[in-house]
Structure 1
Amino acid sequence: MGMVEFRAALDVLDAQREADTPDGDVVVEALATLKPNRTALLSRDDLTRMFAACYWALDRFAEARTAEPQTPGWRAHWICIGLIEATVTDDAAGYRAATQSGVNRYLALGFDRGGKPPEPVKPVPHVPMDLEEATGLVAPYLARLEAEIAEKPYSHLKLAWDVFRRPVAPFDVVFEHWLADLDARGVGTGDSLPALREAQALEKIAQEGRQVVGWQTCEDVLLPKLEHPHPMVAGCAGKLVGSLYTPDMDRFGNTTPWPLTKMMDHLTHVQGCRRAVAGGFVVAFDEMPYLVEDLGDAFDLDAWVMEILAHPLGEPYVPGAQAFWFHVHEYYWRDVDFMFGLLDAGHDWIAYMCATEGAELALVRPVLDRIVAGETELAEAARTFIARKEKSG
């Protein structure tokens, strides 16, 4: 497995590009071969050919993105997306850090690895292109992302987040210039680059879990950020505030913060991106059950969740903090009464996600039947889910 297989797959794709009627299965097989054989040290020619093949396949199967899953066109589309996005980021950074940590322990402390030597650390990616060449290479893909922003103003931020968090030169500079250009032209929210920088700073401090923040600083600096107009900044601010509520409250230093229940109540009064803030706050506790343990039995979690969901502003997907609906559907996946409450409040999609999370069909069937009877856009999805579960037994 390696460069021989990678270049052979590129040869197949080049031939398919020239064919009058490309074979979708052959295209998918070749693209799938590229993925595991793509190394961190591709040549300029390898990169150019791979991106050209991906752009061709994305155009050739343009309608497949919303087609039936697992068809050749659908698979080709998503393999291409994965190849491009993995190439412009250091996608092995997390694995490399974990492996290096194991190597360090082995060398420094002699931890027994069952007689096995440490695993080799994956190399840092090297892109043999200057800024101008790299800009030209990814320009068609950035144009695709920009075309989606009008309908989904935050859709480009997940990849940009990954590029900045796991940078590969010169693609990190390419993306910085691209975001600055989008902002200058007022594309999307017009503040993508500064919002990304601020959100990543907040999220990094939350993840590190070491920074002491006195209560006055929290009240004067962080709580106002919960009202930030950009959901990515607001969500990451919520994550940082949540991370300060450790069991011994040592992250607040010698100052006295609001009790956790008062902070939770404060979140229900956030008038901006309330769901993003709450999602970030909860994920700082890892997941809802751990938050519930800290709150105690007296706290009415059901009412709090419904109050968070009551805010009319929706919940666009943004990186850095877990979406609030995700916490809800994982916690209430067997609570049929709560699901009916979600339906009564107009949160049909979240109710559907709860009902399809994994509980036995007999338990959640009444919820799904009501969704079907409502003839909303979810009705067909609910019918399909019921039929699939009944068929599988």
Structure 2
Amino acid sequence: MHPAQSRVRESPYGSRLRPRHPDAGMATMADRIEQALKELEAGLTPPDYERLITAFRSLQIPGDVDSGTLKRVYRLCFRILGLAPGEPPLDSEHHIEPWQTGHLEACAASAIEESLFDRNAQTRRWIREREERYRVEGKPTPAGFGDQNLPPELHIPWDLETAREEIAPFLAAYERNLAQDPGVHFKLCYDVMSDGYPVFRTVFGDWMDALEQRGLGHPGMRMAIEKSVELDALANEPEPISWQECEAELLPLLDHAHPMIAAGAARYLGALFAEAPFPDDEKAPGLPEFLEDLAQRSEHRRSLCGAFIRGLDTECRGLGTLATDPRLQAFDLDEWVVEVLSLDEEEPFLPNVQAFWFYVHEYYDTDPGFITRLIEMDRAWIAMMCATESPSRIEGMEPVLHRLAENPDPEIAAHAESHLARHYSH
């Protein structure tokens, strides 16, 4: 499996946020969801892609959704996903294209996820913090300020037993993918345990414990998520600490077996280095030395380096942050990147940090010479991501793309050929 697949997948079905219909605010939420569900039912047999997609665009679960309506949402979405017991699966073979089936499955998975956690929880927290600041400062809250324009928070109408029973087919689909990808459930579990509705936080906590007892997926998932959330909070607002504290509390976490914890610690360390820390501690390494240490690690190397950059990069400049940091004037960034990528390892998708390959493909997208180095060190997928990133013609890139188009991996070759046709054929 290529990293591209893990970077975009939020579920076994490649879930995406569903597009919203432009007229979604014209009726009550109860009326809208009833109409949307009727359209979904009507569009299933035979499958009518346009009708189903239009229905998904207007489907929004009301905050006070009743049990019957939510079960109906699940039943219809599970049917599209091929997970509905006793229900015929979506008959797509003779009616719609494979990409349309994939799009419908993504919309169905997204609708299920909408019932599990609040995608707008972070925005709501920010709004509440601002409202509290206005109150403390004695200022009026600006007109229209609030979360009234966000999708509503849901009040799930199920007890624990019902919630566990209703979501079981969805979780079973994840379990079937764990053998191929032990991290396939990272993002979903992270989202639910961070911002999930209470009954589903319990369901997912129990599910992760059960997976561990059965030897499925990464062990220690519940603890890993709890620790990752803690480290995220520290990285977001880093307080000065001594290098001695880092040695005692953070450096050991870089070797943790669970990649989310190791990466979370690296991100926090990056945030500390961004603040020019440890000025009076002679034992503390400089930024170049610490980067070299990360590039030499034998476990989670790419994840650690990507996470560290995520913490260090306060201006969203990626590797450009390293290229312009005055502490790194004598630092060879190209060689460091090559060293990080030299270890043969598959970089997992981690929901709490940014992947290292992502920074590489954004920084080197106009550098055909470096991309050629990536090809020659058998990093053709990352090379392809670099070479196809820029939406314009790049001098010297055409022969690199032709070389990638001859790669035996069909995904790499197809992307290179498509980019050549779009930007270099005239």
TM-score (norm 2): 0.83
Instruction: Name the % identity.
Output: 31
TM-aligned CA deviation for residue 91 of structure 1: 1.4
Q: What CA distance in whole angstroms lies between the structure 2 residues aligned with 1:331 and 1:61?
A: 42
8 Å contact from structure 1 (residues 361, 386) kept in 2: no
Q: Compare relative contact order (CA 8 Å, sep 6+) and give the higher one, 1 or 2.
A: 2
Is 2:414 aligned against 1:389? no
Query: Tell me, what secondary structure is at the counterpart of 2:64?
Result: coil
8 Å contact from structure 1 (residues 199, 233) kept in 2: yes
- 2:272 counterpart residue number: 244
Query: Tell me, what secondary structure is at the counterpart of 2:63?
Result: coil
TM-aligned CA deviation for residue 342 of structure 1: 0.7
8 Å contact from structure 1 (residues 226, 270) kept in 2: no
- Correspondence list, 1:199-210, <5 A: 199-210=228-239
- 2:368 counterpart residue number: 336
Q: What CA distance in whole angstroms lies between the structure 2 residues aligned with 1:297 and 1:253?
A: 19
Is 2:178 aligned against 1:149? yes
Q: What CA distance in whole angstroms lies between the structure 1 residues aligned with 2:345 and 2:217?
A: 17
Deviates more, 1:172-181 or 1:254-263: 254-263
- Correspondence list, 1:1-393, <5 A: 1=25, 2-17=29-44, 19=45, 21-34=46-59, 37-59=60-82, 60-61=89-90, 71-109=99-137, 116-121=143-148, 124-210=153-239, 212-249=240-277, 252=278, 255-256=281-282, 257-286=284-313, 287-294=318-325, 295-358=327-390, 360-363=392-395, 364-377=397-410, 378-390=412-424
Deviates more, 1:125-134 or 1:98-107: 98-107
8 Å contact from structure 1 (residues 28, 72) kept in 2: no
Compared with structure 1, are the counterparts of its residues 190 and 117 closer, same or farther at alpha carbon in structure 2 (3 Å cutoff)?
Answer: closer
Structure showing the higher helix proportion among its residues: 1
TM-aligned CA deviation for residue 365 of structure 1: 1.6
TM-aligned CA deviation for residue 27 of structure 1: 2.0
TM-aligned CA deviation for residue 254 of structure 1: 5.5
Query: Tell me, what secondary structure is at the counterpart of 2:343?
Result: coil
TM-aligned CA deviation for residue 232 of structure 1: 1.6
Q: What CA distance in whole angstroms lies between the structure 2 residues aligned with 1:319 and 1:365?
A: 34
Q: What CA distance in whole angstroms lies between the structure 1 residues aligned with 2:299 and 2:393?
A: 37
Contiguous gaps of at least 5 residues in structure 2: 1-24, 83-88
| Structure 1 vs Structure 2 CA RMSD | 2.4
Query: Tell me, what secondary structure is at the counterpart of 1:385?
Result: helix
8 Å contact from structure 1 (residues 13, 30) kept in 2: yes
Paired letter, 2:298: Q
Number of residue equivalences: 381
8 Å contact from structure 2 (residues 232, 264) kept in 1: yes
Compared with structure 1, are the counterparts of its residues 243 and 388 closer, same or farther at alpha carbon in structure 2 (3 Å cutoff)?
Answer: same
Q: What CA distance in whole angstroms lies between the structure 1 residues aligned with 2:139 and 2:380?
A: 52
8 Å contact from structure 1 (residues 368, 382) kept in 2: yes
TM-score (norm 1): 0.89
Paired letter, 1:340: T
Compared with structure 1, are the counterparts of its residues 63 and 306 closer, same or farther at alpha carbon in structure 2 (3 Å cutoff)?
Answer: farther
Q: What CA distance in whole angstroms lies between the structure 2 residues aligned with 1:96 and 1:116?
A: 17
TM-aligned CA deviation for residue 105 of structure 1: 4.2
Compared with structure 1, are the counterparts of its residues 63 and 13 closer, same or farther at alpha carbon in structure 2 (3 Å cutoff)?
Answer: closer
Q: What CA distance in whole angstroms lies between the structure 2 residues aligned with 1:39 and 1:97?
A: 20
8 Å contact from structure 2 (residues 43, 49) kept in 1: no
Query: Tell me, what secondary structure is at the counterpart of 1:226?
Result: helix
